[in-house]
Amino acid sequence: MNLVNFSLMRHELLLVVAALLILIVEIFASSKSRKSISLFSIVLFAVITIVGFLPSPTGTLFGGMYEVNNTRLIMKNILNIGSLLVLIQSVTWLNKDENHDKISEYFILLVSTLIGMNFMISAGHFLMFYLGLELATIPIAALAAYERYNNKSAEAGIKLILISSLSSGVLLYGLTMIYGTTGTLYFNEVAQLYGNENLQILGFIFFFSGMAFKISIVPFHLWTADVYEGAPVNITSYLSVISKGAAVFIFIIVLFTVFPLIIITWQKIIYVSAVLTMTIGNLFAIRQQNLKRFLAFSSISQAGYILVGLIGGNQIGMASVIYYILVYIFSNLAVFGVVAAISNAKGKENIDEYNGLYKTNPGLSLVMLLGLFSLGGIPPFAGFFGKFFLFTAAAQNGYYILVLIAVLNTIISLYYYLLVVKAMFINNNEAPIEKFRSDFPTRLALGICIAGIVITGFASIIFEVIKNMSFGV
Amino acid sequence: MNTGVPLIYFLILAAIMFFAGVYGFLTRRNLITILMSVELILNSVNINFVAYNRYLYPHKLEGFFFSLFVIAVAASEAAVAIAIIINIYRRFTTINVEDVDTMRY
């Protein structure tokens, strides 16, 4: 190991250093200066995010267990941006009195999940992949149970940890079959040996089910709504955006690099699960009253659209999935930012409590409107282009019926996104949520999200850059 | 080289353990027992890895090492899960999943 090798692992090592620094600051911070821990951590993380964009060498480490190339770098950078936004959004919540003594816990746990995701994305061997996956999921369960005196939070935590350990068990059982039939666990060696034997197909199905839990693909989605509702809002936004994004990233890498020889098989599986995920996610979202539950089902249906994008296994498919995650981070965090601001200030999370929000809080309503329009895919915003590229990628390989179903689902999803818009702008309410002024971090984060929604939509160079770094089967 | 128990016996044992674990996970009502079912699943994975390694690829140790890591990770998972279960007990004064139902469809 020399310095060049270390610089390959730049993202992970910087995050490890950050976690240790926050730990040290925590030890020496007096009880009065605790609030500055969040400022310190966010500045530190912002520096790491910027350093992540510097040009980096590519290559492999540890005999091929760890691999860096341009695709993986851009994925890590996207996750960094999203996590930075989540951190900025959570300052208001962390400054509450009941969270006062555990501010640094939040940052350390969140940074360690991000370390896990980065290792997972850089994996070149299933062992590294598994360790990254576990490092990314175990601390999140602790975060979901963060509000110790809240029944719902504890319930969300236990549901998340049990489901994620079950899903890793299922995934590992698939890995044993992959190992048993090929005798290796290196991605590039498995890729050459993995064919269409029965045991290999079975191993893939177990592996796929394990990943489906993490991405919350129907029929493995049942935990999503409960965990999203119970966890604190800022953790929910992290779960729905960053966790899911990282799982999608590694899923697409594994599908394209490890299982190219059984592409016919996984296309069939993904076809069925994409249709189910979109439809069931959308239909259940219509009947939700709690906004966090509503967004949980909306994020399930978004996972369905992502599956539509990657089904073709072509280069534009991968590019569109990465681009869509970027857009999804901005749009979903805009919506979640508003929900978090209102939930932290007023404790209200139901859709009918948002009636008449526009009259009292026009700024927040407008941000929410833009976020929902982008999620729904209304043209000038980035969400439209994201969906457009996803569907193009599927249509290129001749999946016209799937694209038709996806477009029909987009229309259903518009209906329920507009229900929220209608509640905010049209419905009358005797006692709407009172006017309040959100503080600087919230406004900053929401501003970045809106800028992101507009810029990623209009700047075609972003998609071009991502496309040049992507690859097909 | 290998005399005695053939490979298939280990695989059948692991499969039975795996599905017993999944069954237990879905039907048990006590959170600790659910956690034990998860351990059963992870141990079936270990048996599979070790058996494949010993019988089919004895010259490389990937399977053995993987099972070591699985054991370590399972321990940390159990630690976090039990911490949350203790918190559940304090909040709900029970660890029966039927009673931990503030959220449902």
Q: Nearest residue on chain B to A141, judged by CA atoms?
A: B80
Residue B1 C-alpha, separation from nearest chain A C-alpha, in angstroms: 18
Percent of chain A with pLDDT over 90: 58
CA dihedral A288, A322, A133, A139 (to 10 degrees): -50
DSSP A19-72: HHHHHHHHHH--SSTTHHHHHHHHHHHHHHHHHHTS----EEEGGGTEEE-HHH
Q: What is the DSSP letter of B5?
A: S
| CB contact at 8 A, A132 and A112 | no
**Cα three-residue angle A116-A61-A67, rounded to 5 degrees:** 60
Chain-chain contact of B57 with A183 (C-beta, under 8 angstroms)? yes
B residues 36..55 contacting A (CB < 8 A): 38, 41-42, 44-45, 48-49, 52-53
Assigned domain for B20 exists: yes
CATH number at residue B25: 1.10.287.3510
pLDDT at residue A373 in the model: 92
Q: Is B67 on the interface with A (CB under 8 A)?
A: no
pLDDT at residue A355 in the model: 87
Looking at A53-125, list the stretches that DSSP marks H as alpha helix, in order from N- to C-terminal side: 70-89, 91-94, 103-121
Residue with tokens 């590519």: A58
Looking at chain B, list the stretches that DSSP marks H as alpha helix, in order from N- to C-terminal side: 7-27, 31-56, 62-92
Chain B positions in Cβ-Cβ contact with residue A151 (cut-off 8 Å) = 91-92, 102
User: Model ipTM?
Assistant: 0.94
Provide the pLDDT confidence category of residue A202 given band limits of 50, 70 and 90: very high
Among the partner residues B31, B56, B62, nearest to A158 by beta-carbon distance: B31
Residue B59 C-alpha, separation from nearest chain A C-alpha, in angstroms: 10
Q: Is B75 on the interface with A (CB under 8 A)?
A: no
The pLDDT of residue A307 is above 90: yes
Q: Is A218 on the interface with B (CB under 8 A)?
A: no
The span from the CA of A151 to the CA of B38, in Å, is: 24
As given in the structure block, the two tokens for residue B11 are 């695989």
Q: Give me the residue spans of the domains in chain A.
A: 3-469
- Higher per-residue pLDDT: A434 or A105: A105
The span from the CA of A387 to the CA of B33, in Å, is: 44
- Higher per-residue pLDDT: A192 or A460: A192
Assigned domain for B103 exists: no
Closest CA to A162 of A146, A138, A132, A143: A138
The span from the CA of A341 to the CA of B3, in Å, is: 67
* Tally of domains in chain B: 1
The pLDDT of residue A437 is above 90: no
Residue B6 burial class via C-beta count within 10 angstroms: exposed 0-12, middle 13-18, buried 19 and up:
exposed
Give CA A157 to chain center in angstroms: 18
- Backbone dihedral angles phi then psi of residue A59, each to the nearest 5 degrees: 160, -165
Q: Is A291 on the interface with B (CB under 8 A)?
A: no
Chain A positions in Cβ-Cβ contact with residue B57 (cut-off 8 Å) = 183
Determine the residue among A172, A178, A190, A221 to mutate to test chain B binding: the one whose Cβ has the most chain B Cβ atoms within 10 Å.
Answer: A172
Residue A124 C-alpha, separation from nearest chain B C-alpha, in angstroms: 14
| CB contact at 8 A, A382 and A454 | yes
Closest CA to A231 of A151, A325, A322, A170: A151
Assigned domain for B75 exists: yes
SS3 content of chain A, % helix, strand, coil (to 5): 80, 0, 20
Assigned domain for B1 exists: no
pLDDT at residue A354 in the model: 86
Q: Of A139-143, A147-151, A204-208, which range is least confident? A: A147-151
Residue B87 C-alpha, separation from nearest chain A C-alpha, in angstroms: 7
pLDDT at residue B3 in the model: 66
- Higher per-residue pLDDT: A463 or B72: B72
pLDDT digits (tens, 9 = 90+) for B5-25: 889 999 999 999 999 999 999
Q: What is the mean pLDDT of residues A193-208?
A: 90
Chain A positions in Cβ-Cβ contact with residue B80 (cut-off 8 Å) = 138, 141-142, 161
The pLDDT of residue A1 is above 70: no
Q: What is the DSSP letter of A435?
A: P
Q: Is B20 on the interface with A (CB under 8 A)?
A: no
Question: Which residue range(s) make up the domain with B31?
Answer: 7-92
- Backbone dihedral angles phi then psi of residue A392, each to the nearest 5 degrees: -60, -45
Q: What is the pTM of this model?
A: 0.93
| CB contact at 8 A, B56 and A184 | no
Q: Is A173 on the interface with B (CB under 8 A)?
A: yes
| CB contact at 8 A, A110 and A143 | yes
Chain B positions in Cβ-Cβ contact with residue A138 (cut-off 8 Å) = 76-77, 80
The pLDDT of residue A198 is above 80: yes
Cα-based distances in Å from B19 to A163, A169, B40, B52: 16, 11, 9, 19
The pLDDT of residue A49 is above 80: yes
Provide the pLDDT confidence category of residue B2 given band limits of 50, 70 and 90: low
pLDDT at residue B105 in the model: 59
| CB contact at 8 A, A68 and A122 | yes
Among the partner residues B53, B57, B87, nearest to A154 by beta-carbon distance: B87
As given in the structure block, the two tokens for residue A143 are 């975060």
